[in-house]
Amino acid sequence: MVDLPGDMKKPRTSVELFAGGGGLAMAVHRAGFRPLLLNEFNARACETLEANASRTLGVDGVKRTESRSPVPPAEGEPAPLFPLDVSHLDLSAFEGQVDVLAGGPPCQPFSAGGVAKGDEDKRNMFPAMFKAIREMRPKAVICENVRGLLRPSFRDYFTYIQRELALPFESRKSNDLWQEHNRKLASILGDTVDLPDEDDNAEHYRVKVFPVNAADFGVPQVRNRVVMVAFRADLPVDIEKFYEIYSARKYSEEALYLSLLDDNSEYWTRHGYVEPHVRERVRARIPKDVQPKLGEEDLPPWRTLRDAIQGYGTDERLPALPNIDLEMLDKKTNQADHLGISDHVGWPEARIYKGHTPNELDRPAKTVKAGVHGVPGGESVVLLDELASGSVPGDGATYRHRYMTVRETARVMTFPDDWEGSGPRGEKMRQLGNAVPVLLGEHFARAVAETLDDAGQ
């Protein structure tokens, strides 16, 4: 079980919707919040939450309930897990007891990799988030989604989402088009989504949108997302100061480039001997005349896939993962027995082709996706250090490659090694691809906790 931070002034509480495999729930707990309820519709993900709750969420397990009107558990009791459609959930019993409502509504309606129907897609769960806000009146809201919400085709609808988050009690009538409701909200807020400074209405929320790359916050993965954070307007929170402090990136791409160019850098030193031709392959992709950005000279380097595999992917030093024997990829059971670590099993038939480029060890991993070409984890191929048979170093050299293991994928999502997904490999990869990286979620959850402390809340 992860201990609560020692500097927390008082226990805080959370509710997690669309919890998936538990990434954001773990992040919120690590920031000092006790979960009062979790919701997840997918059966395998519910099994994962049940299996991992006592280890990763700081609760004595979770208890499934199909009651549509659950009540908050007492401290020490299992947190209720509602495994049905969240729109059927009545959270009125939680009113006034929730510090933060967190969740990542299903992103397929807005993802560049999906059908991208947006508001027309029945999987759009933002309305359920706003219903939960009306029922619970949480002090703060954290909502994560794909960067596709910022695409020009969704600009008007994303503005509408922000207005709804600012004015959640101005609920939309069941027969109203979103455009009609948007015009109503705009008549209150004007052309912006910002509340007036003097607004201290407890039914209004001050909203900030953070376009983020998870690699900038210590995650060994390039993952572009949108995080929305909102505080109830009756709380004395300086939202502009909040944005200024917590939007600044903490890790630097340029610092990684500079460390890769230096044979004596801490990066190469900690990874031991790497063949010169591998280093040259890496350096060939670095922009010329790279320099740190002004004011970011002291930021540490982005973390890489090699870091994650070798145990340097987070602030906590983990053991290096055993090498995967490429000659055993079709012998999965024996391979697992041989390696002795859960979910660290190689997979055969990985391919590299146009539009399906591999992960590189000395870069952050590419975005972990829930599915590519109908295959969960189908793009998680890693280019290795070993030359392919018959290839020689130099221009045109080819290298061996394989699929990433579930455990490696969990590490680039900054999940702890004691997290175990439920179901076959594909289901585990899907849960990871749909999740929020724990370190990214923790950054914003701690920001909310610190801000509530500063506001005397």
- 80's tokens: 């209720």
Catalytic hit among 19, 27, 107, 447: 107
Ramachandran sector of residue 380 (left: φ over 0; alpha: ψ -120 to 50; beta: rest):
beta
448 Cβ contact list (under 8 Å, min separation 6) = 31, 99, 100, 140, 142, 229, 231
Backbone angles phi, psi at 145, to 5 degrees: -155, 180
- What is d(CA 58, CA 22) in angstroms, rounded to the nearest whole number? 12
Indicate if 143 belongs to the active site: no
Task: Return the amino acid letter for 173.
Answer: K
Query: Each residue of 138-150: b (16+ CB within 10 Å) or e?
Result: bbbbbbbbbbbbe
DSSP summary character for residue 353:
B
Which residues have C-beta within 8 Å of that of residue 213, sequence separation ≥ 6?
A: 222, 223, 224, 225, 249
d(CA 196, CA 191) in angstroms, rounded, equals 12
DSSP letter string, 372-403: BTTBTTTT-EEEEEEEPTT--SSTT--EEEEE
Instruction: Decide: helix, strand or coil at residue 163.
Output: helix
Do 441 and 27 meet the contact criterion of CB atoms below 8 Å apart? yes
Least Cα distance to 100 among 170, 165, 28, 207 occurs for: 28
Contact between 354 and 331 (Cβ < 8 Å): no
Question: Which residues, at least 6 apart from 408, have a Cβ–Cβ distance to it below 8 Å?
Answer: 305, 308, 309, 321, 344, 382
Which token pair is 21?
């495999």
Other C-beta atoms closer than 10 Å to the C-beta of 52 total: 23
| Residues annotated catalytic, as ranges | 107
